[in-house]
Structure 1
Amino acid sequence: MEKHLPNLTSAEIASLWTAYMNDSMATCILAYMLTHIEDEDIHALVKEALTMSSEHVSSLQKLFQQEKFAIPNGFGKQDVNVNAPRLYTDTFCLSYLNHMSKAGMVGYSGSLAMSARYDLIDYFSTALHKTASLYEKTTKLALEMGILTRPPYICVPSEVDYIDSKEYISGFHLFSKNRPVNAVEISHLFLNIQTNLIGYKICLSFAQTATSKEVKQFMMRGNEISQKHIKLFADTLLNDHIAAPMSSDLYITDSTTPVFSEKLMMFHMSLLSATGIGNYATAAAASQRSDLALNYERMSFEIGRYAKAGADIMIKNQWLEQPPGTINKEQLIRSPNKKA
């Protein structure tokens, strides 16, 4: 007996649209990287990721047609020059793949949690499993190559303890030093250093290869924000005599030949900005020192302003594809023959 598929909910529509936009972008970036990678092991993983994203795009297109869902324009061959000179080193490509697989796991788990139809639950759970497998493989390879940057080590607790003072929560002391950061806070400080390291290198590579002055300036502003945030997180750790591990292998070349369309580069930065704001919100909620939470809030606001500036550029150039939305009933009543 054929199972009845209910109509897509707003959450499912949003998840499918977002997945298509992200995967169509990924196919462009991965196809370019694959052209230049020399290391056989890294090449194999990037090829696996490209195959996975391409299959996702194809599956989603079929689902859209089945649901009479307008297929988003997304990104395609017109948005990448795979024959452009090499821009990224092999190790950068591996680090990028590792980073984006982390973001993918978060995205797919959220989409899975918002899905009710059995076919979408199957799609997102499969995508989550494959992305987690890719993360495991990229982490293992980076570890074997000696380029995996691991979080700082601290002493393993020898006994259970309880917070016995409200000062533990406060990060502001006029006459004494803040308490040392705890393991939870260290983990988020480290994570946000790593994500900003990737972010500032991507900004730099986009600034090098962009053709318009406006996009170049936007990318350099993102580069400056990332470096500023890295310094703040690293200084917080150093105040407690904890060195912030950083990779020295995230190289980009000196090529200035355009690789990606400016539409794709701006979309990628909006994706990184959204991920960064999400990371900061999670870190703020997990941090028990109020000064850390305040810093995350302030930096989230800075990224939000940066993302707004990026959206303005995309709207002006007609690069910003509109997500599906509900019908504007008031406009429909006023102008019944006009598209709402």
Structure 2
Amino acid sequence: MTEYQAKLTSSEIASIWTSYMNDSMSKCVLGYFLKHVQDEEIKSIVQFSYDSSSTHLEKLTTIFQEEQIPIPTGFSDEDVNLNAPALYTDPFMLTYINHMAKVGLLGYGGFISMSAREDMRAYYREGLNETSELYERSAKVALSKGLFVRAPSIPYPTQTDYVDARKYLSGFSIFSKQRPLNAVEISYLFMNIQTNIMGTKLAISFAQTSPREKIRKWMLRGRDISKKHVDIFTKVLLENDIQPPVSSDVGITDSTIPPFSDKLTMFHMSFMSAAGSGNYATAAAASQRNDLIVNYERLAMEIAQYAKDGGELMIDHAWMEQPPPTMDKDQLTNKKDTMK
């Protein structure tokens, strides 16, 4: 007796489509890294990440074919120039992979929770395990090379306590000093500083190599937004006598020859913007000081506007691939009416 296989739900279709787009982009970026990485330990991390993305694409392609769903165009060899000079330093490559592994951990967890079919859950569990292993390996190498940036340290608490006044939530009172940050709030401020530093570096590298003036301007605008957000979050920590840990300048070279298509770099920055908006929403929900919540909400609006403008640029150049849509019932009805 043949076991019935339910069709993919909209959430599962969205998950495999998003995964394919992200992995096809990652394969291009990591393939370029492999061409130029010099440090053998870092190279092993790049190779592991590249192999994972390649395997994911093969499995996702099989899923699309079995379900008879059109395979996304995504990104291919046409979107990367492996012969372009090195644009990134080895430490940047390692830091980038470690950062993207963090993003991947959140992504795979979400895909699992949105999947009903057993084979889909199994695929994303395997992806989660691989990404966890990638984070573990990249973190270990980063620690050994002094590149892993630890979150700020605070004294261990000596007792448990409860909030005893509503002013604990206040962040704007002109009559009393703001309460000190708690550990949860510090952790999100630190995380968003690190995320924006990565965004700054990527935006600079993409602006430096793009042949199109409008793309360069949009990328530099992204750099300025990320730098501003870093300054805002850093100021909050410094006001609480907390020195934000910073890494050495793990950055980019002076090459101006584009290794990636503008289509890929625009997608990448849109991906980073979406991840940043998600981080801010989570940070706002977890923070208890009102001033922090307001900061995250207004800065998230700035990212949203930046992403919208980037989306319009992508549409103008026919670079924005449309996710699988549902049926337009009104259009179907109107089409039927014209047949009378």
TM class by shorter chain equals over 0.9
Q: Determine the C-alpha separation between the residues in 2 that align with 1:199 and 1:236.
A: 20
CA distance in 1, matches of 2:3, 2:160: 53
Q: Which residue of 1 aligns with 2:179?
A: 179
1-structure distance, mates of 2:337, 2:70: 20
Give CA deviations for 1:227-286 in whole Å, capped at 9, x if unaligned.
000000000000011001111232100100011000000000110000000000000000
Give the aligned partner of residue 332 of structure 1: 332
1:183-262 counterparts in 2 under 5 A?
A: 183-262=183-262
1:293 paired residue number: 293
RMSD of the TM alignment (CA)?
1.1
Per the alignment, do residues 186 and 335 of structure 1 end up closer, same or farther by CA in structure 2, a change over 3 Å counting? same
Counterpart amino acid of 2:126? T
TM (norm. structure 1) is 0.98
Take 1:320 and 1:105, find their aligned partners in 2: how far apart are those partners?
Answer: 25
* Local SS of the residue matching 1:335: helix
Identify the residue that residue 72 of structure 2 maps to in structure 1. 72
Structure 2 residues not aligned, in runs of 5+: none
Letter in 2 for 1:286: A
- SS of the residue corresponding to residue 86 of structure 1 reads coil
CA contact (8 A) 1:147 1:249 kept: no
Task: Describe the superposition over 1:53-103 as per-residue Cα deviations: whole angstroms up to 9, x where unpaired.
Answer: 011111111111110000000000000001100000000000000000000
Compute the TM-score of the two structures, normalised by the length of structure 2.
0.98
1:46 pairs with 2:10: no
User: How many angstroms does 1:175 deviate by?
Assistant: 2.5
- C-alpha separation in 1, matches of 2:3 and 2:134: 32
2:303 aligns with 303
Task: Give the letter for the 1:106 counterpart.
Answer: L
Q: Which deviations, in whole Å up to 9, do the C-alpha atoms of 1:159-218 show, x marking residues without a partner? A: 111111111101011123211111000000000000000000000000000110000000
Structure 1 CA distance, aligned partners of 2:82 and 2:337?
Answer: 44
1:322 matched to 2:322? The reply is yes
For 1:9 and 1:147, locate their aligned partners in 2 and report how far apart those are by CA, in whole Å.
42
Matched residue SS, 1:230: helix
- What percentage of aligned pairs have identical amino acids? 52
Match of 2:115 in 1: 115
- State the 4+ residue runs in structure 1 displaced beyond 3 angstroms: none
The offset of 1:336, in angstroms, is 4.7
Partner SS for 2:13: helix
Partner of residue 160, structure 2 = 160
C-alpha separation in 2, matches of 1:153 and 1:4: 54
Q: Check whether the contact 1:85–1:255 (CA below 8 A) recurs between aligned residues.
A: yes
Q: Cα offset for 1:142? A: 0.5
| Match runs of 1:9-158 below 5 Å | 9-158=9-158
In 2, the alpha carbon distance for the partners of 1:85 and 1:177 equals: 53
Supply the distance in 2 between the matched residues of 1:308 and 1:81 (Cα, whole angstroms).
28
3-state SS in 1 of match to 2:4: coil
**Distance in 2, Cα, partners of 1:144 & 1:335:** 64
- How far does residue 36 in structure 1 lie from its aligned partner after superposition? 0.5
Answer yes or no: is the 8 Å Cα contact 1:30–1:46 preserved in 2: yes
1:127-169: per-residue Cα shift (whole Å, max 9, x none)?
0000011001111110111111000000000111111111110
The aligned length equals 338
Separation in structure 1 between the aligned mates of residue 337 and residue 138 of structure 2, nearest angstrom? 53
Shift of 1:5: 1.4
Name the residue aligned to 2:8. 8
The amino acid across from 2:294 in the alignment is: L
Contact 1:152 1:244 in 2 (8 A): yes
The 2-side partners of 1:254 and 1:52 are apart by 30
The answer to whether residue 238 in structure 2 is matched with residue 266 in structure 1 is: no
